[in-house]
Amino acid sequence: MTVLALDSGLTWIPACPADRLTPERGVAILLPDGGQVALFRTFDGALYAIDNIDPFSHAAVMARGIVGDRDGEPTVASPMLKQVFSLRTGVCLDDPSVRQAVHTVRERDGVVEVTVRPSGGTA
Amino acid sequence: MRQLVVIGNGMVGHRLVEAVRDRDTDGTWHITVLAEESRPAYDRVALSSYFDGACEEDLRLPDLVRRGGVDLRLGEPATAIDRAGRTVTTRTGAVVGYDALVLATGSSAFVPPVPGHDLPGCHVYRTLDDLDAITASARDARTGVVIGGGLLGLEAANALRLLGVRAHVVELAPWLMPAQIDEGGGALLGGLIAETGVTVHTGVGVEAVEAGADGRVARVRLGERELAADIVVFAVGIRPRDELARAAGLEVGPRGGVVVDEACRTLDEAIYAVGECAQAGGTVYGLIAPGNAMAEVVADRLLGGTAAFTGADTSTKLKLLGVDVASFGDAHGRTPGALEVVLNDAPGRRYAKLVVSDDARTLLGGVLVGDATAYAGLRPLVGRELPGDPLDLIAPGREGGGIGVGALPDDAQVCSCNAVTKGALVTAIHDGACDVAVLKGCTGAGTSCGSCVPMLKTLLAEAGVEQSRALCEHFEQSRAELVEIVTATGVATFSELIARYGRGRGCDVCKPAVASILASLNGGHILDGEQAALQDTNDHFLANIQRNGTYSVVPRIPGGEITPDKLIVIGEVARDFGLYTKITGGQRIDLLGARVEQLPAIWRRLVDAGFESGHAYGKSLRTVKSCVGSTWCRYGVQDSVGLAIELELRYRGLRAPHKIKAGVSGCARECAEARGKDIGVIATEKGWNLYVGGNGGFRPRHADLLVSDVDHDTLIRYIDRFLMFYVRTADRLQRTAAWIEAMDGGLDHLRAVVVDDALGIAADLEAAMARHVTGYADEWRGVLDDPDKLARFVSFANAPDVPDPTIAFETEREQPVPAGPVTLGMPVRRPHAEV
Ligand code: SRM
Ligand SMILES: Cc1cc2nc3c(=O)[nH]c(=O)nc-3n(C[C@H](O)[C@H](O)[C@H](O)COP(=O)(O)OP(=O)(O)OC[C@H]3O[C@@H](n4cnc5c(N)ncnc54)[C@H](O)[C@@H]3O)c2cc1C
Ligand code: SF4
Ligand code: FES
């Protein structure tokens, strides 16, 4: 896998072709350091990425959760024990003391890219 | 400590002991209960439900012994009372001393002394032993005659019907239930009963019961006519069991019954009498509410109180399928000057009469036939000022008789069986009782005849406690309402549905629910197009997620029957993919520990060997469990395996509000545990008995008998209707058990819809099921044949073949199991994990 060093000091990697990411269905991405992110596109085209490891069950499953919204906030529900997380902030809306790391995502020339380091939430 | 002896452990004797234990916080009384029956006390009022699926345990009243200070002697009746020595002698010869004695010996069924009344095959209808004897006689019976067309006789006739016997009812009076209802109501009732398949003969008496060649009952002679009868049940009335009291020199009434005063005390001040053996204020009451009231009075007196019994509510409601009859207060208008307001709607098959005071302001009583929904609202108003025009109260279509419970004063009894007032209920709701079950538990209301339950619901609703039916924050509608919307509008996608009828973008509650609705109404593959994004992870990967993120594989093994070759394939697949293998509780095999990217290869092998999805992941039919049945078993009377396989193949893949399980047993020994399933089928010599609404799991429940002795085609037709009705009307994640319990009208309503087609939708339901059956296709094959769908089965979008590095196994008992610490957990927000 290629690692691209780019603007603002962030390290980006290509995640998948843009058309592989259908609205409201996540995919898992393996990071160079062995970590994983769950990548989502919401109905309005926005892209989000959070750590793929469910903080409650410790299983790498967040990408397989159901995407939706709670009071307008874009969310994903863990498929394991159903806790709901904000895709924007990574905060668990059912237990705000828990927060999932968030990565930055962008789309370039038909490819979706994510940063290898989290930009928010717990590192 | 003082000694209290209670003779009789029927409903009232039981209530008395409970009431004394409740009040006697200092432990003043030690209680000895002498019981003639060998079973602990049971709910006699609900006796008939024994034929409708209830078993002895369901009917049993709360254990008395556990309360402490109670010596319950079952099967040890009292034989004599020595008033001077204050002792009671029992059948075993034991002598028990008392400081206070309560007679609660109830009554016995009266058998008229007509010739042949004691032939084999003649029965009465009073105890569980009587019911067992009736069941035994009914086994080879085709026709049965019930003598007596009152409340009890009609229940008995219905019981015969449920036992598969053609029933006749013979009533001497010109109409049925003459004690409770008037001629107008009686005319309608006769017709309604006849429609249930029971033949009614009124205005005739029985002259003799005659035997056939085998010495058993064969005929009943009614004057000129005779009726063939293989079984006869007498239900003409009751006689108080006052024999002990008579022998002890206590006063008894002219028509029997131990005479008691307002304290329920006999002329011997140490002896009380309660329930059906007592005559209070000149009346012997044959109902439970007065008996319970007497028990409370005596308990109060024993502890120094001054409570008095001054008469009681004699309202009654018939507990019969599909036939609504109720009578309350002065139903016959015997109060001087009473006026009657009658609504006799023959085409609408409703008869309603209110009896009001001469100034038309006070409600005195009434009769309702055909539709008794107003009963719960009207009964507590007896003796009170009417809230409006009497005719208005019985006008059609007015739920609860047009009376909000709000109109009732706090001291009005909402539950007359258990003397619970509106005030007590409102207080309980205020203190946090949040549903009918809790309300029942803390007040006792609704636990006897159940006719007040609609009022409990209304009280909860009026207090604003009733839970919203909205599916989630995105849809105001309930699941059933969404089904109606989708059916009526033909909306085919979630996006369109939420745009037109909801708000926001949905969540893990409404998305799978709508996916299930679309799948059951429209068919198609569940991963087609936008639908795929609605499925939760199990449906998404057609497998069940496990705690380490791997999945389980459960191929369908219909009825639990499998060839050796197929067993070998399962073994080989498990071995080759390193899967943990276990036999499930559903008579099939679970292969666990498959990673997402392994699923297609595993399923390729299984599908090639002739397996298909077992839908262990879906809210859909799981398994139809079977026993070996008549093919092998020496007791089997039908081919249970064959039927189980047929049912499993018929209903496989049907998406439903929750999972559906079924079972088929080859005889009444019930080795398939069918009554623990949503659909239970048990073979009989004449066909099949169909039970519905069973559940294991969080709250086990035995399934209720829906119909008995039906043939194969009828059985399938009823199950088709039942399932489709469930699919259309249940709430999200509501198993059939909870669905039936929450249904207005409960099992009777369900039976009316499924068996009698009361809503006229049976053909529609059957057609919908036919579409499902022909439209069925294996979901796994659908995935394997479609590259787009297969593309989802990868670990990582950027590294499809790299296994998830967080998944690791260790070995336990020679099989792979997830490595690492077990994180225990139930969801934080929701009480139960559901998959
Ligand atoms: C595999 C199995 C246990 C076993 O090793 O035997 C099993 C395993 C699970 N059961 Fe079960 N149940 C299994 C038979 C049962 C039975 C017995 C039966 O079916 O005869 C019951 C009680 C009967 C009943 O359902 O009425 C049962 C009552 C439950 C319940 C409680 C349901 C309820 O109505 O209260 C749940 C939780 C739920 O559905 O909400 C549940 C849920 C589950 C879940 C889905 C829990 C979860 O969230 O992961 C488990 C997933 C299994 C998997 O990944 O394959 N399972 N479960 C059985 C699979 C049977 C099959 O072949 O399909
Ligand atoms: C099928 C059926 C349906 C009914 N439906 C309704 C209804 O819908 N609404 C309603 O209000 N009522 C109904 N009833 C009536 C109700 O069940 C009775 O009013 C109630 O059971 C009376 O309670 P009890 O304790 O006085 O008598 P029972 O329940 O008859 O109990 C008396 C007990 O005393 C025992 N006993 C008798 N003699 C002795 C002795 N010497 N020593 C020891 N034990 C003795 C008996 O064996 C019996 O167990 C129904 C009754 C039946 C049979
Ligand atoms: S239910 Fe009856 S037929 Fe089936 S195995 Fe058991 S005993 Fe045999
Ligand atoms: S009125 Fe019978 S249970 Fe409430």
Residue B636: inside a domain: yes
pLDDT value at position B463? 78
- Helix, strand or coil, per DSSP, at residue A43: coil
More confident residue, A2 or B389: B389
Q: Please provide the average confidence, as pLDDT, over all residues in chain B.
A: 89
pLDDT band at B654 (very low <50, low <70, confident <90, very high): very high
Nearest CA in chain B to A20: B797
Reported as a single tens digit per residue, the pLDDT across B87-130 is: 999 999 999 999 999 999 999 999 999 999 999 999 999 999 99
Range B585-606 average pLDDT:
96
Range B309-324 average pLDDT:
78
pLDDT value at position B831? 32
Residues B103 and B115 reside in one and the same domain = no
Q: What is the CATH number of the domain that holds B226?
A: 3.50.50.60
Whether residue B196 lies within 8 A of chain A, CB to CB, comes out as no
Distances in whole angstroms, Cα of residue B438 to Cα of each of A100, B217, B425, B428: 39, 48, 11, 9
pLDDT value at position B653? 94
Residue B420: inside a domain: no
Residues B769 and B835 reside in one and the same domain = no
Residues B632 and B727 reside in one and the same domain = yes
Residue A122: inside a domain: no
Range B587-595 average pLDDT:
97
pLDDT value at position B398? 46
Residue A28: inside a domain: yes
Chain-chain contact of A83 with B827 (C-beta, under 8 angstroms): yes
On the question of pLDDT at B195 being above 50, the answer is yes
Reported as a single tens digit per residue, the pLDDT across B397-439 is: 544 344 556 667 788 888 877 888 888 998 888 888 877 777 8
Residue A15: inside a domain: yes
Residues B625 and B608 reside in one and the same domain = no
More confident residue, B669 or B388: B669
Contacts for A24 with CB less than 8 Å, ≥ 6 apart: A40, A41, A42, A43, A67, A68, B505, B533
Residue B333: inside a domain: no
Q: Which residues of A20-36 are buried (b: 16+ CB within 10 A; e: fewer)?
A: bbebbbbbbbbbeeebb
pLDDT band at B385 (very low <50, low <70, confident <90, very high): confident
Reported as a single tens digit per residue, the pLDDT across B687-731 is: 999 999 999 987 788 999 999 999 999 999 999 999 999 999 998
Residues B216 and B289 reside in one and the same domain = no
Residue A70: inside a domain: yes
Q: What is the number of structural domains in chain A?
A: 1
Residue B377: inside a domain: no
Q: Where are the beta strands (DSSP E) in B654-753?
A: 660-665, 679-683, 688-692, 704-710
Residue B221 half-sphere exposure toward CB, CA atoms < 13 A: 12
- Please spell the DSSP secondary structure of A57-110, one letter per residue: T--B-GGGSEEEEETTEEEEE-TTT--EEETTT-BBTT-TT-B--EE-EEEETT
Whether residue B796 lies within 8 A of chain A, CB to CB, comes out as yes
CB of B9 closer than 6 angstroms to any ligand 2 atom: yes
Residues B157 and B176 reside in one and the same domain = yes
On the question of pLDDT at B509 being above 80, the answer is yes
Chain-chain contact of A56 with B802 (C-beta, under 8 angstroms): no
Q: What is the CATH number of the domain that holds B564?
A: 3.30.70
Residues B614 and B627 reside in one and the same domain = no
Q: Which of B74-83, B279-288, B554-563, B813-822 has the weakest average pLDDT?
A: B813-822
Q: Strand order in B208-211's β-sheet?
A: B208-211, B217-222, B225-228
Helices (H) and strands (E) in chain B, counts: 25, 38
Q: What single letter denotes the amino acid at residue B226?
A: E
Residues B81 and B228 reside in one and the same domain = no
More confident residue, B381 or B276: B276
Residue A121: inside a domain: no
Chain-chain contact of A57 with B825 (C-beta, under 8 angstroms): yes
Residue A120: inside a domain: no
Residues B46 and B172 reside in one and the same domain = no
Known binding-site positions of B for siroheme:
671
Contacts for B466 with CB less than 8 Å, ≥ 6 apart: B457, B460
Q: Which of B302, B328, B354 is the last residue of a domain?
A: B302
pLDDT value at position B208? 94
- How many angstroms separate the CA atoms of B265 and B300, rounded? 12
Q: What is the CATH number of the domain that holds A7?
A: 2.102.10.10
Chain-chain contact of B802 with A30 (C-beta, under 8 angstroms): yes
Q: Residue B31 pairs with which residues in a beta bridge? A: B4, B70
What part of A 24-83 touches B (C-beta under 8 Å)? 24-25, 27-30, 34, 36, 39, 42-43, 53, 56-61, 64-72, 74-75, 77, 79-83
Q: Where are the beta strands (DSSP E) in B739-808?
A: none
Whether residue A1 lies within 8 A of chain B, CB to CB, comes out as yes
Among A58, A71, A80, most B C-beta atoms within 10 A, so best to mutate, is A80
Considering only CB atoms, which chain A residues are within 8 Å of B537? 61, 64-65, 79
pLDDT band at B396 (very low <50, low <70, confident <90, very high): low
pLDDT value at position B480? 86
> What pTM does this model have?
0.58
Question: How close, in Å, is residue B689 to chain A by CA atoms?
Answer: 39
On the question of pLDDT at B560 being above 90, the answer is yes
Reported as a single tens digit per residue, the pLDDT across B28-69 is: 999 999 999 999 999 999 888 888 778 888 899 989 988 889
pLDDT value at position B835? 35
pLDDT band at B569 (very low <50, low <70, confident <90, very high): very high
On the question of pLDDT at B320 being above 60, the answer is yes
Considering only CB atoms, which chain A residues are within 8 Å of B547? 57, 59, 80
Q: Which of B280, B302, B324 is the last residue of a domain?
A: B302
pLDDT value at position B824? 45
pLDDT value at position B822? 52
Q: What is the number of structural domains in chain B?
A: 4
Residues B669 and B766 reside in one and the same domain = yes
Reported as a single tens digit per residue, the pLDDT across B265-274 is: 999 999 999 9
Residue B455: inside a domain: no
The DSSP code for B824 is P
Q: How many residues does chain B have?
A: 835
By the 8 A CB rule, do B257 and B240 touch?
yes
Residues B553 and B691 reside in one and the same domain = no
Q: What single letter denotes the amino acid at residue B506?
A: G
Burial class (CB in 10 A: 0-12, 13-18, 19+), B28: middle
Chain-chain contact of A81 with B536 (C-beta, under 8 angstroms): no
**Nearest atom in ligand 2 to B243's CA:** 41
Residue B267: inside a domain: yes
Axis crossing angle, helix B712-729 with helix B479-489, rounded to the nearest 10: 100
Range B541-550 average pLDDT:
93
Residues B547 and B586 reside in one and the same domain = yes
Question: How close, in Å, is residue A52 to chain B by CA atoms?
Answer: 11
Question: How close, in Å, is residue A74 to chain B by CA atoms?
Answer: 8
Residue ranges in chain A modelled with pLDDT below 50:
1-7, 122-123
Nearest CA in chain B to A23: B533
- How many angstroms separate the CA atoms of B148 and B234, rounded? 7
- How many angstroms separate the CA atoms of B143 and B121, rounded? 11
Nearest CA in chain A to B834: A81
Reported as a single tens digit per residue, the pLDDT across B454-471 is: 778 878 887 777 666 788
Q: What is the CATH number of the domain that holds B719?
A: 3.30.413.10
- Please spell the DSSP secondary structure of B347-411, one letter per residue: TTTEEEEEEE-TTS-BEEEEEEES--TTHHHHGGGTTSB-SS-HHHHHSTT-GGGG--GGGS-TT
pLDDT value at position B826? 40
- How many angstroms separate the CA atoms of B780 and B543, rounded? 10
Helices (H) and strands (E) in chain A, counts: 0, 11
The DSSP code for B676 is G
- Residue B572 belongs to domain spanning: 536-618+796-835
Q: Which of B213, B236, B259 is the last residue of a domain?
A: B236
- How many angstroms separate the CA atoms of B128 and B500, rounded? 57
Nearest CA in chain B to A13: B798
pLDDT band at B584 (very low <50, low <70, confident <90, very high): very high
Range B649-667 average pLDDT:
96
- Residue A64 belongs to domain spanning: 2-115
The Å distance, Cα B585 to ligand 1 centre, comes to 8
Degrees (nearest 5) of the Cα angle B603, B608, B614? 50
